């Protein structure tokens, strides 16, 4: 408070953490890991009607090098899980993960030997979305949850 | 005179300092968690198959030969055509000889199959 009164009108002070988190939470670029029908809802989530650019996430990156949020949309087989894990490893930190739909969250109706029973077996999932497939509103809700999580995180000077 | 270049020197200095500042800031403030996979090529999560430097034929050599035949022809034909009447009969026959030689080259490349790319593929 002291600094603001010394600077006078028109100045705003904040913490670096808050500033970085504010920037990060409003520019969450998704990596669309579309595996099944959920991917169609994910496209609707990015499209004009649901318009996720209101939340700064319209920039779907098709390379893990530039993305912050992996949306695993659809059921994941054991064979595919290695590829997903590698793409996750290739994403730069900090990164977040959303398991979209029943199949990605728990295996869903695919209760069989070939399907991973939830991608949280090999990924650190931050938000789960229920539904088969979920509505785009639900994906936006998950994105808002991720944004809330980012805003509470300690973000700078983690690995120096 | 040399003082005129001072803004350029300042610009270079600012560019270098800004680049170093931004790189070191992101290194110090952001998370730094290197792993092996981040250095691997991105191939949709799969192992890359084969080499990126594969050789394939575009019949470039033969096309280049064809190009040289016509290019040289044009290079010498244009100046001759401008001074056609003045240069007389001797130059006319010299040019004809030149054209015949190039025409022989053209026939040679045609016999080698320069323009038969599709035909060669069908024969295979």
* Summary mean pLDDT of chain A: 89
| Binary contact (B45, A84; C-beta < 8 A) | yes
Residue A128, exposed/middle/buried by CB under 10 A (0-12, 13-18, 19+)?
Answer: buried
pLDDT value for A121: 92
Enumerate the H helices of chain A as residue ranges. 2-7, 16-25, 38-46, 78-90, 101-106, 136-152
For residue range A25-44, list pLDDT tens digits in order: 999 999 999 899 999 999 99
Chain A residue numbers touching B29 (CB-CB < 8 A)? 16, 20, 156-157, 160
B37 vs A16, A86, A93: nearest CB:
A86
The verdict on residue A52 lying in a domain is yes
| Binary contact (A82, B28; C-beta < 8 A) | no
The parent domain of residue A89 ranges over 29-152
Average pLDDT for residues A127-132, to the nearest whole number? 92
For residue range A71-83, list pLDDT tens digits in order: 999 999 999 999 9
The ranges of chain B with pLDDT < 70 are 56-59, 117-124
pLDDT value for A155: 82
| Binary contact (A156, B30; C-beta < 8 A) | yes
Q: What is the CATH number of the domain that holds A54?
A: 3.40.50.12280
The verdict on residue A157 lying in a domain is no
pLDDT value for B124: 45
B42 vs A64, A157, A159: nearest CB:
A64
**pTM, whole model, 2 decimals?**
0.69
Rounded CA-CA distance B110/B66 in Å is 9
Average pLDDT for residues A117-141, to the nearest whole number? 92
A159 vs B33, B40, B42: nearest CB:
B33
Rounded CA-CA distance A45/A138 in Å is 9
CA distances A42 to A28, A32, A45, A68, B94, Å, are 15, 8, 5, 16, 74
For residue range A39-69, list pLDDT tens digits in order: 999 999 988 999 998 998 888 988 899 999 9
Which segment, A6-10, A101-105, B52-56, B68-72, is predicted with the most confidence on average?
Answer: A101-105
Chain B residue numbers touching A20 (CB-CB < 8 A)? 29
The verdict on residue A24 lying in a domain is no
- Chain B interface mutation, best of A92, A94, A122, highest count of B Cβ atoms under 10 Å: A92
Question: What domain count does chain A have?
Answer: 1
Average pLDDT for residues A101-108, to the nearest whole number? 90
pLDDT beyond 60 at A1: no
Query: Does ipTM surpass 0.95 in this model?
Result: no
pLDDT value for A160: 66
Chain B residue numbers touching A157 (CB-CB < 8 A)? 28-29
Tokens in use for B32?
Answer: 């730094």
């Amino acid at each position: 408070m002291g600094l603001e009164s010394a600077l006078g009108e028109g100045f705003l002070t904040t913490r670096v953490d808050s500033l970085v988190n504010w920037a990060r939470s409003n520019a969450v670029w998704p990596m669309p890991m579309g595996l099944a029908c959920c991917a169609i809802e994910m496209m609707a989530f990015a499209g004009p009607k649901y318009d996720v650019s209101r939340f700064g996430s319209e920039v779907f990156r098709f390379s893990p090098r530039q993305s912050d949020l992996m949306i695993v949309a659809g059921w994941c087989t054991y064979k595919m899980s290695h590829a997903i894990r590698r793409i996750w490893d290739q994403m730069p930190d900090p990164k977040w993960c959303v398991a979209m739909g029943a199949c990605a969250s728990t295996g869903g109706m695919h209760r069989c030997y070939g399907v991973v029973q939830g991608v949280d077996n090999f990924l650190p999932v931050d938000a789960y979305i229920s539904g088969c497939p979920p509505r785009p509103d639900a994906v936006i809700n998950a994105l808002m949850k991720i944004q809330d999580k980012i805003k509470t995180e300690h973000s700078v000077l983690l690995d120096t | 005179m040399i003082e005129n270049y001072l803004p350029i020197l300042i610009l270079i200095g600012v560019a270098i300092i800004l680049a170093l500042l931004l790189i070191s800031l992101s290194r110090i403030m952001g998370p730094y968690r290197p792993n092996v996979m981040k250095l691997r090529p991105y191939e949709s999560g799969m192992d890359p198959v084969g080499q990126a430097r594969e050789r394939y034929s575009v019949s470039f050599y033969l096309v280049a030969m064809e190009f040289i035949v016509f290019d040289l022809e044009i290079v010498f034909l244009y100046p001759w055509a401008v001074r056609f009447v003045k240069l007389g009969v001797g130059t006319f026959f010299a040019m004809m000889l030149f054209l015949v030689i190039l025409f022989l080259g053209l026939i040679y490349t045609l016999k080698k199959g320069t323009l038969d790319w599709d035909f060669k593929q069908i024969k295979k």
